[in-house]
Amino acid sequence: MERVIYCQGCGVPIQTSDPKEAGYLPASALKNDTVICQRCFRLKHYNEVQDVPYDDQDFLDMISQINQTQGLIVKLIDIFDFNGSFISSLHRLTGKNPIILVGNKVDLLPKSTNLNRLKQWIKKSAADLGLVVQDVFLISAVKGKGIDEVKEAMEYYRKTQDVYVVGSTNVGKSTFINRLINDSTGTKEVITTSYFPGTTLGFIEIPLDKHSSLYDTPGVINRGQMAHYMSDKDLKAITPTKEIKPIIYQLQEGQTLFFGGLARMDIIKGEKQPFVCYFANQLSIHRTKLENADALYETHQGDMLAPPNKDSLHLLPNFTTNTFKIDGDKTDIVIPGLGWITLSGQAVTVEMHTPQTVATSKRNAII
């Protein structure tokens, strides 16, 4: 029988076949006496956290260990994908520990964004999902914006206890933690083994002071994330890489907009008015007549109406329809993981067609 070797950094069984999975180590490196996986190696030598996703249940089993300990939870979300990056089962697993919510990627928002309103929306959406948080912060892990405020809040709320950083894949957790590690000076041995009783997986432990640590937990995969229904190439086409520039369409009853082949908005009722679209600058948006929309989709899904491209079309779940009646308030219709459309508040009824696992919602306009 083959002997199972465990990583001395994080405790996962070592494997040499899949670089994308937990515990990977090139076979050639197995000869060394001290065995640590590639993720821990990089963290130790280059202060670089590599994200390795685990499946949902592994993650949730791990996270549930937190409710037997005391500490502060720092929960990261992607502000472009609140629903997709919000792990709604989390609060049942983390016990009575205080939580701060950190919305990442604020650098992608237009300068005119009302950040207070965005914070309020995040706080309210979290409360609607049953999560009461101590505070909400908006940061850019890449640019370093807002990090000091989060650090201050961490010190304040953790009250000398440990900190657990949690988040779904792709929220920028590695970028955030790398920044925290690189900002903190004098920590040479950043990783230590940190098992919880009854689990094989360990968290990565980064010492904060003599008595407490910050724990990096693996990124959870959330099936509601648009990102899971597309290839890497498709994902590039929907992910904003710099400040998004809105595109304004003047539309009226009987018109349709396609957002690649991933979402469709039909104007069912309403006078001509502006629809301000906030999406990745490279995402192609197509306008057509509502009466031609079905046929256009049939003919052009996967080419003109892409992403998803032809080779990843089969990943796309069936579409579902949500109707929104807007009248009075300036409102955003949000497509998680893609972007949003701002309506002026003039009376209008729109139908949104999106993959059924990616629910559209509305909020008070943030711009």
Q: Which residues bind ligand GDP (CB under 6 A)?
A: 51, 104-105, 107-108, 140-142, 167, 169-175, 219
**Do the Cβ atoms of 332 and 352 come closer than 8 Å?**
no
Residue 144 CB, nearest distance to ligand GDP (Å)? Answer: 9
Q: Which is nearer to ligand GDP, 79 or 208 (CB)?
A: 79
**Do the Cβ atoms of 226 and 337 come closer than 8 Å?**
yes
Residue 3 CB, nearest distance to ligand GDP (Å)? Answer: 31
Q: Which is nearer to ligand GDP, 66 or 352 (CB)?
A: 66
How many Cβ atoms from other residues are within 10 Å of residue 110's Cβ? 12
Chain residue whose CB lies nearest ligand GDP: 172
Q: Is residue 303 exposed (0-12), middle (13-18) or buried (19+ Cβ within 10 Å)?
A: exposed
Residue 239 CB, nearest distance to ligand GDP (Å)? Answer: 7
**Do the Cβ atoms of 161 and 212 come closer than 8 Å?**
yes
Q: Which is nearer to ligand GDP, 167 or 337 (CB)?
A: 167
| 173-183 helix and 147-158 helix, angle to the nearest 10 degrees | 80
**CA nearest 46: which of 150, 157, 213, 188?**
188
Q: Which is nearer to ligand GDP, 94 or 104 (CB)?
A: 104
Residue 172 CB, nearest distance to ligand GDP (Å)? Answer: 3
Residues 6+ apart with CB under 8 A from 26: 16, 38
340-347 long-range contacts, Cβ below 8 Å, gap at least 24? 340/278, 341/265, 341/275, 341/276, 341/277, 341/278, 342/246, 342/275, 342/276, 342/278, 342/367, 343/273, 343/275, 344/273, 344/274, 346/270, 346/271, 346/273, 347/269, 347/270, 347/271
Q: Which is nearer to ligand GDP, 174 or 360 (CB)?
A: 174
Longest Cα–Cα distance of the chain, Å, equals: 73
Residue 140 CB, nearest distance to ligand GDP (Å)? Answer: 4
Q: Which is nearer to ligand GDP, 39 or 264 (CB)?
A: 39
Give backbone dihedrals phi and psi of 274, rounded to 5 degrees, phi first. -80, 140
> Token match 């400040």: residue?
243
**Do the Cβ atoms of 85 and 170 come closer than 8 Å?**
yes
Q: Which is nearer to ligand GDP, 8 or 175 (CB)?
A: 175
Residue 274 CB, nearest distance to ligand GDP (Å)? Answer: 26
Residue 177 CB, nearest distance to ligand GDP (Å)? Answer: 8
Residue 175 CB, nearest distance to ligand GDP (Å)? Answer: 4
Q: Which is nearer to ligand GDP, 160 or 281 (CB)?
A: 281
